[in-house]
Structures are given as C-alpha cells and as structure tokens.
Amino acid sequence: MSELKQDDVLFIVKLLQESAFDELHVQTGDLTVHAKKRPGERALESEPRSEPDAPAPEVSAKGPARAMRSPLVVPEGLTAIRAPIVGVFYRTPQPGAPPFVDVGTSVSEEDSVCVIEIMKLSRTVSAGIRGRIVQICAEQDEVVEFDQILFLVEPIAEEAQQ
C-alpha cells in the first residue's frame, strides 16, 4: 500500500483532530505522512520513502497527556485491556454483528474483545487475561489513542475457572 487515497488522508487528519496528540506520523510502503496540529506549521506533509516494500504500516503519535473518558487509574483488583495502536474502536467484528463482549462476559487470554482500525487496516485485540468484563471504557466508532483503556476486567484465578 504505497498510495494513499483522499479518504485515507482525511481519516488521518480526523484521527489527529480528535486526539490529544500534536503530531501523527504514518509510514507505509514508499510513503511517509507527517501531520501536525501546531499553529503556523503545515497541517499535512508527505514524502516518499527510499526503502521499497516496507512492512505493514507503522504509526506513532506524540503529544501531551489528556484526561481520557476511560479511568486513568485502574481500580484495585481490576486489570485494564489497553489499545495497542491509535485507531477507530469497534466493539463488533462487522456492522450489524453482535459485540465481541459485553459487561459480564467471561474471557480467556485468546478471546477477541474488539477491533481497532487505522487506514482500512484492522487489528483484532485479544483480552490477554482470563476474567470477566466489568466495564467498557470506549465507545463504538470512537478514535482511541495508544495505551488508552478500552475495558476493565476482573481477573479470574485458573483454579476458579476449572
């Protein structure tokens, strides 16, 4: 994917505008896109990369921390499932499908709990823990930031599961 379409660029700009980050840097194939929110600077720059056939897109963002809708401190006894990347959060595998999990759902480490999409590339997020979902901290179609808390889970000891 070395060519970005207008929809892809608009999506990148939307991600940046809806986040607390000042910059967004995306590399894919032979193209690098660097978007900034600072006044007086160009809003969007892009430049070709010299390495051909680069691996899957690499996305990084930087900027000030902000008060997120999800808790900043995980309550004692609970574990957070966090966003592994910046992107759009989806509770369902596809439109109209039931959510992967709801409050009260028991999950194991390998169970899928959501999908995060960036530039039409989807990444399924696994629970990574055995437990019970006690809170869903992100909203459907919300742009989430790297490491943002998506779910709170009450861990279940392996003995209790058997």
Q: pLDDT per residue over 2-34, tens digit each?
A: 466 667 767 777 777 777 667 776 666 666 666
The backbone torsions φ and ψ at residue 33, rounded to the nearest 5 degrees and listed phi first, read: -120, 130
Identify the domain containing residue 128 by its residue range.
Answer: 79-161
d(CA 58, CA 56): 6
First vs last C-alpha separation in the chain? 46
* 87 domain residue, yes or no: yes
Domain identity same for 55 and 99? no
Domain identity same for 50 and 84? no
Helix, strand, coil shares of the chain, percent, nearest 5, are: 10, 35, 50
Domain identity same for 84 and 131? yes
| Total domains, the chain | 2
**What CATH number is attached to the domain comprising 157?**
2.40.50.100
* 70 domain residue, yes or no: no
Answer with the residue of higher pLDDT: 153 or 160. 153
User: Could you report the per-residue pLDDT of 56-98, keeping only the tens digit for each?
Assistant: 444 444 443 333 444 467 889 999 999 999 999 999 999 899 9
Q: Looking at 21, 37, 62, which one is the last position of a domain?
A: 62
Domain identity same for 83 and 154? yes
* 74 domain residue, yes or no: no
Domain identity same for 87 and 156? yes
Chain centroid to CA 27: 17
Domain identity same for 57 and 83? no
Answer with the residue of higher pLDDT: 134 or 10. 134
List b or e across 91-119, with b for residues whose CB sees 16 or more CB atoms inside 10 angstroms.
beeeeeeeebbeeebebeeebebbbbebb
